[in-house]
């Protein structure tokens, strides 16, 4: 088994009184599209920003190939929630500004960009100022900007939010192509159908914790549901959380039983039924 690209251990993030994430343990392996799926305020953006090394966790560690992720930013390509393009620059100038910061020669950045801009149908717009760009064009420019320095992993925060059908489809198809070429993409979304279509692995983020993690098929099997929406509802319900707590308690009980059976606690004590 390959070593994970990104490893999160015991990660928590607090903003004043808001506990945005708690107890996050996650390994990201290469060559997959991983969906962070959850509702508004679940903690997806916070998790992506921590993985991107643009923000420090309150607790825990985030390592990229064993090194602190904030020192490995050139290995990551990030498309944030808000694209943050300079409207007085053209699309290509925005991209070049970014790739130069990573010390990438313009011709190399240009080769990468023109390879992907055809797929995104953005080639003709590269020489235009981004001021009048539609949301779809801005999003595609931000994607090219994230790819231009040749990252090992791409982090996309709701990349299809607010896009028309055709643009959203083009973005999804690019993600699929990147995966087919061996790339690794982490993709946050609140669209289950999209996650099912695009992602090899789905990580369900709910109230700042990871509620489930597996392939779409595994999540269906785990819940006994026949569609991902029902599986999501089951996995994020309070009942699911209570069940998780019960399992923890049962785990403790079994350890206690084991101790009892190995004679390490007084065995004349009266014990209740396990169930
Ligand atoms: N910079 C911040 N300052 C204060 N609270 C924040 C900040 N960023 C996120 N939060 C809070 O953390 C929680 C998770 O937010 P976020 O990660 O943006 O969720 P999502 O992307 O899933 O909608 C929310 O309660 C949000 O209000
Ligand atoms: Mg968000």
> Rounded mean pLDDT of 22-43?
96
Write out pLDDT tens, residues 217-272: 999 999 999 999 999 999 998 766 666 555 555 554 454 444 444 444 444 444 44
Q: Which residues surround ligand 2, an ion (CB under 5 A)?
A: 44-45
pLDDT of residue 247: 54
pLDDT of residue 162: 87
pLDDT of residue 61: 97
Token pair of 270 as six digits:
């009266």
Q: What is the 3-state secondary structure (H, E, C) of 193-221?
A: HHHHHHCCEEEEEECCEEEEEECHHHHHH
pLDDT of residue 160: 94
Instruction: Report which of residues 193 and 272 the model is more confident about.
Output: 193
**Residue closest to 195 by CA, chosen among 219, 222, 177:** 219
Pocket test for ligand 1, best of 11, 12, 15 (most atoms within 8 A of CB): 15
In sequence order, what are the beta bridge partners of 9?
61
- Note the ligand closest to the C-alpha atom of 50: 1
Residues 6+ apart with CB under 8 A from 33: 175, 176, 179, 184, 185, 186, 187, 198, 199, 200, 201
Write out pLDDT tens, residues 51-89: 999 999 999 999 999 999 999 999 999 999 999 999 999
pLDDT of residue 232: 95
pLDDT of residue 246: 58
Identify the residue whose C-alpha is closest to ligand 1 atom 18: 45
pLDDT of residue 245: 59
pLDDT of residue 264: 43
Sheet with strand 33-37: strands edge to edge: 76-79, 153-157, 184-189, 33-37, 201-206, 209-214
Residues 6+ apart with CB under 8 A from 165: none
What are the structural domains of the chain? 30-39+78-214 (3.40.50.300)
Mean model confidence pLDDT for the chain = 88
**Which H or E run contains 256?**
helix 238-261
Q: Does residue 274 carry a pLDDT above 80?
A: no
What is the pTM for the complete model shown? 0.87
Q: Does residue 195 carry a pLDDT above 80?
A: yes
pLDDT of residue 248: 53
**Residue closest to 201 by CA, chosen among 216, 179, 222, 181:** 216
**Residue closest to 201 by CA, chosen among 37, 44, 34, 47:** 34
> Rounded mean pLDDT of 205-221?
96
pLDDT of residue 238: 73
pLDDT of residue 244: 59
pLDDT of residue 184: 96
pLDDT of residue 235: 95
Write out pLDDT tens, residues 111-170: 999 999 998 999 999 999 999 999 999 999 999 999 999 999 999 999 999 899 999 999
Pocket test for ligand 1, best of 35, 39, 45, 158 (most atoms within 8 A of CB): 45
């Amino acid at each position: 088994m390959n070593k994970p690209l990104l490893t999160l251990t015991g990660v928590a993030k607090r903003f004043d009184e808001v506990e945005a994430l708690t107890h996050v343990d996650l390994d990201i392996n290469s060559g997959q599209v991983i969906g962070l799926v959850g509702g508004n305020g679940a903690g997806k953006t916070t998790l992506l920003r921590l993985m991107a090394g643009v923000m420090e966790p309150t607790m825990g560690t985030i390592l990229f190939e064993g090194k602190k992720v904030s020192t490995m930013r050139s290995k990551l390509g990030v498309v944030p929630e808000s694209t943050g393009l300079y409207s007085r620059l053209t699309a290509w100038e925005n991209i070049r500004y970014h790739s130069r910061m990573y010390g990438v020669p313009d011709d190399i950045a240009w080769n990468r960009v023109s390879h992907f801009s055809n797929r995104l149908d953005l080639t003709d717009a590269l020489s235009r100022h981004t001021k009048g760009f539609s949301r779809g064009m801005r999003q595609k420019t931000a994607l090219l900007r994230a790819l231009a320095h040749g990252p090992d992993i791409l982090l996309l925060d709701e990349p299809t939010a607010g896009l028309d059908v055709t643009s959203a489809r083009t973005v999804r198809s690019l993600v699929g192509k990147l995966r087919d070429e061996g790339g690794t993409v982490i993709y946050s979304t609140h669209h289950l159908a999209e996650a099912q279509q695009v992602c090899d692995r789905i990580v369900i983020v709910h109230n700042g914790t990871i509620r489930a993690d597996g392939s779409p098929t595994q999540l269906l099997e785990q819940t006994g549901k026949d569609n991902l929406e029902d599986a999501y509802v089951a996995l994020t319900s309070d009942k699911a959380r209570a069940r998780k707590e019960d399992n923890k308690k049962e785990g403790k009980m079994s350890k206690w039983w084991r101790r009892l059976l190995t004679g390490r606690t007084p065995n004349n004590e009266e014990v209740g039924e396990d169930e």
